[in-house]
A and B are shown apart, each in its own frame.
Chain A
Amino acid sequence: MKVTAEHQGHVVVMSLRGNLLGGPDADAFYNEVKSYLDQGSRRIVLNLGDVKLMNSSGLGILIKTLKPVREAGGDVHLACVTEKIDSLFVITKLYQVFKSFPDVEQAVRAFA
C-alpha cells in the first residue's frame, strides 16, 4: 500500500493506494497519522478511492487511527469509498463513527 499526503489548509489529505490488509504497511500508515497529530494536525481526510482490497485487519487499522485523532479533539473523514469497502462499513455499522463523503473536496469542506 502507498500513502501520499498533502495539506489543504488545516486539513491533511492522505490518499491510500493498493490493499489495506494490516501488517507493516498498516502500521506505517498509523504511525504517519500519529506524526501528523504530533505536529498539531487533527483534521484528516482519508481518500480510499484507490484502495482495492481491505480486510478486517485493514478495518482495524482505520479504527485504531480514529481513536487518537478523536482523543486529540479532531476527526477522520473518509472520501471516495468504493462499493466493496462501503459494504464493509455498512455491515459493521462503522458509519455510526466514521463520516463518509463522495469526494475529497466535500470531505475537506465538512471540516470548515
Chain B
Amino acid sequence: MTPSGPEPARQAKAGAGSGDDVLDDLRELVLRLEQLHSSQPATDSQALPAWLLHARQAREELAAHARRLRDLIEPARTLRENRLLREIGRRLGQDLSPESLALLIMDTLGGVVPFDAAGIYFLDPRDGTIRWESLRGYDTDKLHLVRQKLDRGIMGWILKHGQSVIVPDVRVDSRYFNARDRTRSELVTPILHEGRMIGFFNLESDRLGTYGEQERLLMEVLASQVAQTVEHMVLRVDREERRRVLADLKVARSIQRSLLPNRGLRLLDVEVVGLNLPSAEVGGDYFDHFHITPQDIGLVIADVAGKGIAASLIMASVRTGVHILAQHRLDMTGIMGHLNEHLYEVTEADSFVTACYGVYNRESRRLSYVNAGHNPPLLMRARSHAIESLTTGGLLLGAFRGAVYEMGVVELEPGDRLLFHTDGLNEATDRQGMEFGMGRVRRSLSESRWLDAGALVQRLLADLRRHTGMGERATRFQDDLTLMALVCRDNQPGDRQV
C-alpha cells in the first residue's frame, strides 16, 4: 500500500454517512484521476512524471477498494431490506380485510423498491380474474386503462406465464400497454403460493432502467413474504362468504317455501296435494293450486332450466305472472303468451321454463289446460284404468318470441287421478344410471288407484326413493323434484274443507 493510496480517503469518510456515500465518493475520486490520466499524452511510462505514476497506482488501488467496499455494503443493504421485510411479516400477522391488506402492502412497498405508480392485485382462485386490487399513482380518469392492462399488457403476459418481468424501457417493449404516459420502466412480479399464482405486483417508474435483477429479487422476496398471508386472507374471506351465503340461502329457502302452497286443497269434490323437494337450498321447480273463483281452481307446475338461486328467482317471477294474469281472467292461451314474452325479456338466451297451467272447473269437472313444453301431466281414468298424456299447448316459455299456444280440455269423472310432475321424477337414476323413467311413473300411478291425492304423492316418492337407493327418508335427489296430484271425488261441489 502506498501512502497516496485510498486509505486516508476511506478513513476520512468512514462513519460519515452510509457505505453508499463512501462508495459514491470513491467512485468520484477514481473518475477524476481517470480524467487527469487520460489528459496526459500516452508515452512510455519511463517518461512519465513520478506523481502521475503514483496517481495511476492510486487509481487502481482505489478501484480495488471500491470493489471490496461494495462487497461489504451489499450484505448490509440486504440486511436492511430483510429487516424491512420482517417488519412487513410482523404487521401481516393480523387478520386483515383484503382492502386493508392491499393498502398495508402498498404502504410498505415504497420502502423496498422505488416506484411512481404501482398496483397489487389478488386473484380469484376460481377463475383467475382479479378479485381485489390496490393502486397508487395512476390518473383516476385512466383507471379503466389499467384494467385493460390485465388483458393486453405485460400484466396480461405474467397472468399467462407466472414469471417476473423487467422492462427497462416500456417504449420499446411490444407487450407494454400504455395506461400512464409518464411511465418509462416497469417491473411485474407474481405472488406465488405452492406454485400457484395468487396475485402479483406491478411497479412503474418515470425513469428508464429503474428495475434490475436486484429489484426483481427483492420483489420476489416480498412476494413470497406476503403469499402466505394473502392465501390465508383469501381462505378466511371465502369461509366468511360461504357462511354468509348459506345464511342468505336459508332465508331464500324460507321465502321460496312461502311461495308454494303450505298445505293441500281438500274439498269434498276434489283434492289437490303437491310436494316440492329442491336438490339444493333453493330450486327452480314450482307448483301451485289456488282458487281463481270458488268454482275454478288454478293449477300450475313449472320447471325452470337450471338450478339454484338464478332458477329460484325466475320461479318467483313465474308465480307472480301466473297469479296476476289468472286474477285478470285472461284466457289461458293469452296467459301463456304473456308469460312467454315476459320470460323472454327477463331471462338469458339459454334459459327457459317449461310449464303447464290448468284450470279445473268444479261444476263441470272440466279441466282446461295449456302445456308449454312441460312433461305431460298424466290422467288416469278410474273407469278404464287408461292413462292419458296432456300434451296440448305450445313451445316452452321464455326462449322464443311470439309463441302461440293452444288449449286442451278434458272432462274428468269421479275417481280420475291427475299427476303433474317435473323431470326430477322420471329422470332420477339409480346407482347404475338407470332412469326411473315414464314406465315406472305409469306403473306407480296404476297401482295407486285407491289412494287419495296425498297418499298418491307419497307412494311415488317412496317408489323413487327405492329406485334411487337414496334411503327411506331422502328429501334431496339429483334434481329438483315436484309432484302434484289431483283426485276427482264422487261428491257434488262444495267449498268445505274436509
| Minimum C-beta distance from A104 to chain B (A) | 25
Interface string of A19-62 (1 = CB under 8 A from B): 00010001000000000000000000000000000001101110
Q: Give the residues in chain B near A67, CB-CB below 8 Å.
A: 349
A91 in contact (CB, < 8 A) = yes
Main SS class of interface, A: helix
Asked if A93 is an interface residue, CB under 8 A from chain B, the answer is yes
Contact of A91 among B352, B376, B399, B403 (CB under 8 A): B376
Question: Which residues does chain A contribute within 8 Å of B374, judged by CB atoms?
Answer: 91
Q: Kindly specify which of B104-112, B388-396, B450-458 makes contact with the partner chain.
A: B388-396
**Does B350 lie within 8 Å of A57, measured CB to CB?**
yes
User: B395 near A61 (CB under 8 angstroms)?
Assistant: no
Q: Considering the complex, which residues of chain B in the window 374-410 have a beta carbon less than 8 Å from any beta carbon of chain A?
A: 374-376, 393-396, 399-400, 403
Q: Are B400 and A97 in contact (CB under 8 A)?
A: yes
Interface size on B, residues (CB 8 A): 22
User: Is B305 an interface residue, CB under 8 A from the partner?
Assistant: yes
Q: What is the CB-to-nearest-CB distance from B430 to chain A, in angstroms, rounded to a whole number?
A: 15
Asked if B354 lies at the interface with its beta carbon under 8 angstroms from chain A, I say yes
CA distance A64 to B399 in the complex (A): 8
28 A-B contacts, Cβ less than 8 Å apart?
Answer: A22-B306, A26-B350, A56-B303, A56-B305, A56-B352, A56-B423, A57-B306, A57-B350, A59-B305, A60-B305, A60-B306, A63-B349, A63-B399, A64-B349, A91-B375, A92-B352, A92-B354, A92-B373, A92-B395, A92-B396, A93-B372, A93-B373, A93-B393, A94-B395, A94-B396, A96-B394, A96-B403, A97-B395
Q: Which residue of A lies closest to B376 (CB)?
A: A91
B305-A96 in contact (CB<8A): no
Q: Which residue of B lies closest to A67 (CB)?
A: B349
Among the interface residues B305, B354, B395, which one has the most CB atoms of the partner chain A within 10 A?
B305
Which A residues fall within an 8 A CB radius of B?
Answer: 22, 26, 56-57, 59-61, 63-64, 67, 91-94, 96-97
| Cα–Cα distance between A30 and B327 once the two chains are bound (Å) | 40
Q: Which residue of A lies closest to B427 (CB)?
A: A55
**Contact assessment for A61 and B350 in the assembled complex, using a CB-CB cutoff below 8 Å:** yes
Complex: chain A residue closest to B374, CB-CB: A91
The distance in angstroms between the C-alpha atoms of A26 and B305, with both chains bound, is 15
The answer to whether B229 has its CB under 8 Å from any CB of chain A is: no
- Highest count of chain A CB atoms <10 Å: which of B349, B350, B351: B350
Starting from the known contacts A92-B352, A93-B372, A93-B394, 6 additional A-B residue pairs (CB-CB under 8 Å) come to A60-B350, A63-B400, A91-B375, A92-B354, A93-B395, A94-B396
Cβ of A59: which chain B residues have Cβ within 8 Å of it?
305, 352
Docked complex Cα distance between A61 and B305 (Å): 11
Most buried by B among A64, A67, A91: A91
Distance in Å: Cβ of B16 to nearest Cβ of chain A? 66
B356-381 vs A, Cβ < 8 Å mask (1 yes, 0 no): 00000000000000001111100000
Q: Are B350 and A63 in contact (CB under 8 A)?
A: yes
Q: A60-B352, A64-B349, A97-B400 are in contact. Are A91 and B305 (CB under 8 A)?
A: no
